């Protein structure tokens, strides 16, 4: 199954046999995804802007109006911020020189191990040298409906954006479109089904994102239940991969239940924020989910618990919930229906409608603790000009 952490590779190669050889090597693994092969060097800057690759491989012997090493120099001068591997032959030796935009050299003939070693090496070095940490993917999940999952996901996104973190929301409740319903969006508002199914560019994403409160871009689920079966897991994975390059934080609101799509989203998550309440059924389901996550192999640190309406125990001893979780829950949000209810019914975030309310302060604190150092390293407000 594809991963949101795949390395995106752009290959600049005008010899079809070499391009096909590289494609074949990459088809045998899942860590690197070939986003495009470009034979004309003059097209490369635009393709980089379109595909947002993590690594670019350029054939030093590239012919045409813009030769291979001329292209490498141009990319370096333009400060594209993407590591470049130069492909060459023994008769044309080239030395690694980051000061000239040559981050690595791969000489023909080479095998799959050589190729993967170069790609993963320069990608790791680039990630280590950047001042900004990687994008975060937080999946908001609940073992039972009615616990406030979608409301929390929505307000968490608004709170994160208010802290200066470039944030996007994904409506992962594909059948019922919980975020679509919460925001009271028009039925003709674009959804993830409006994205292309082959290659997704930044411009494609911009055209379908719903622009929500506090500069939060939202990718909506389909407007009708029967359209859910048209959403393919591989397309969602490709979309999330692109979104993680465009945003500091991506929050996914899942449906209730463990279907194949939800499991894919949970697999990709950096953090699973599981919403629980003082409810006997919720506690029972939470125990079942903890056992399931353990069998899947998720480390305990991947799942964090948020107790919603924490001051409304409904006769259940808090120790019972603590015993069910096997630890103290990481976060708690108080119950203030007089704040949450009216805001939600109007499709507005309570964290901005009533910022001084206790429940709003609680959720902003959750955002601060979840994001940690990401707050200081955020890229600012979203740049996408999404749908309104």
- pLDDT digit string, tens, across residues 11-54: 999 999 999 999 999 998 888 999 999 999 999 998 988 888 99
Report residue 331 as tokens. 């976060």
Q: What is the pTM of this model?
A: 0.68
Q: What is the pLDDT of residue 134?
A: 55
Q: What is the pLDDT of residue 189?
A: 93
Question: pLDDT confidence of 374, banded at 50, 70, 90?
Answer: low
- The whole-angstrom separation of Cα 49 and Cα 359 is 41
Question: pLDDT confidence of 387, banded at 50, 70, 90?
Answer: very low
Query: For residue 178, is pLDDT > 60?
Result: yes
CATH 3.40.50.2300 fits 7-129, yes or no: yes
Distances (CA, A) of 349 to 211, 257, 355, 367: 14, 25, 10, 14
Q: What is the pLDDT of residue 60?
A: 95
Report residue 328 as tokens. 């103290």
Average pLDDT estimate for 257-271: 90
Q: pLDDT > 90: what percent of the chain?
A: 64
Q: What is the pLDDT of residue 132?
A: 43
Q: Is 156 helix (H, G, I), strand (E, B) or coil?
A: helix
- The whole-angstrom separation of Cα 343 and Cα 154 is 12
Terminal CA-to-CA distance of the chain, rounded, Å?
Answer: 33
Q: What is the pLDDT of residue 360?
A: 96
Region(s) of the chain under CATH 3.40.50.300: 136-374
Q: What is the pLDDT of residue 218?
A: 96
Indicate the CATH number of 136-374 among 3.40.50.2000, 3.40.50.300, 3.90.180.10, 3.40.50.720.
3.40.50.300
Report residue 308 as tokens. 């919603």
Question: pLDDT confidence of 382, banded at 50, 70, 90?
Answer: very low
Distances (CA, A) of 218 to 130, 154, 277, 385: 27, 9, 26, 12
Region(s) of the chain under CATH 3.40.50.2300: 7-129
Pairwise pLDDT comparison (256 vs 309), residue with the higher score:
309
Distances (CA, A) of 221 to 61, 178, 232: 46, 8, 12
- The whole-angstrom separation of Cα 292 and Cα 253 is 20
Sequence-separated (6 or more) residues with CB below 8 Å from residue 122: 55, 83, 85, 103, 104
Average pLDDT estimate for 196-221: 87
- The whole-angstrom separation of Cα 341 and Cα 155 is 13
Burial profile 68-95: b = 16 or more Cβ within 10 angstroms, e = fewer = bbebbebbbeeebebbbbbbbeeeeebe
Q: What is the pLDDT of residue 125?
A: 83
């Amino acid at each position: 199954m594809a991963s949101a952490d795949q390395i995106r590779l752009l290959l600049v190669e005008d010899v079809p046999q070499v391009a096909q050889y590289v494609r074949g090597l990459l088809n045998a693994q899942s860590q690197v995804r070939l986003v495009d092969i470009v034979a004309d060097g003059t097209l490369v800057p635009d393709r980089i802007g379109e595909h947002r690759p993590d690594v670019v491989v350029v054939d030093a012997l590239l012919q045409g109006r813009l030769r291979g090493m001329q292209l490498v120099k141009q990319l370096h001068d333009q400060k594209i911020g993407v590591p470049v591997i130069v492909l060459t032959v023994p008769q044309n030796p080239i030395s690694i020189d980051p000061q000239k935009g040559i981050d690595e050299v791969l000489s023909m003939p080479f095998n799959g191990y050589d190729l993967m070693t170069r790609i993963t090496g320069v990608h790791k070095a680039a990630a280590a040298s950047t001042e900004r940490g990687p994008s975060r993917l937080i999946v908001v999940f609940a073992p039972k409906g009615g616990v406030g999952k979608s409301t929390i996901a929505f307000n968490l996104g608004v709170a994160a954006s208010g802290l200066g973190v470039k944030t996007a929301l994904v409506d992962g409740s594909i059948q019922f479109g919980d975020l679509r319903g919460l925001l009271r969006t028009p039925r003709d508002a674009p959804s993830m089904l409006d994205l292309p199914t082959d290659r997704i560019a930044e411009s494609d994403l911009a055209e379908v994102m719903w622009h929500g409160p506090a500069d939060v871009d939202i990718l909506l689920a389909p407007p009708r239940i029967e359209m859910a079966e048209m959403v393919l897991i591989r397309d969602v994975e490709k979309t999330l991969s692109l979104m993680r390059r465009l945003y500091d934080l991506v929050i996914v609101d899942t449906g209730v239940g463990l279907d194949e799509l939800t499991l894919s989203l949970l697999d990709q998550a950096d953090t699973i924020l599981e919403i629980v309440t003082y409810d006997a059924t919720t506690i029972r389901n939470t125990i079942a989910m903890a056992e399931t996550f353990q069998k899947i192999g998720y480390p305990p640190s991947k799942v964090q618990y948020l107790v919603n309406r924490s001051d409304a125990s409904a006769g259940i001893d808090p120790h019972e919930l603590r015993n069910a979780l096997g630890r103290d829950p990481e976060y708690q949000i108080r119950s203030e229906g007089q704040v949450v209810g009216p805001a939600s019914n109007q499709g507005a975030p309570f964290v901005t409608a009533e910022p001084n309310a206790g429940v709003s302060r609680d959720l902003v604190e959750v955002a601060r603790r979840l994001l940690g150092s990401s707050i200081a390293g955020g890229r600012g407000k979203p740049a996408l000009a999404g749908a309104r």
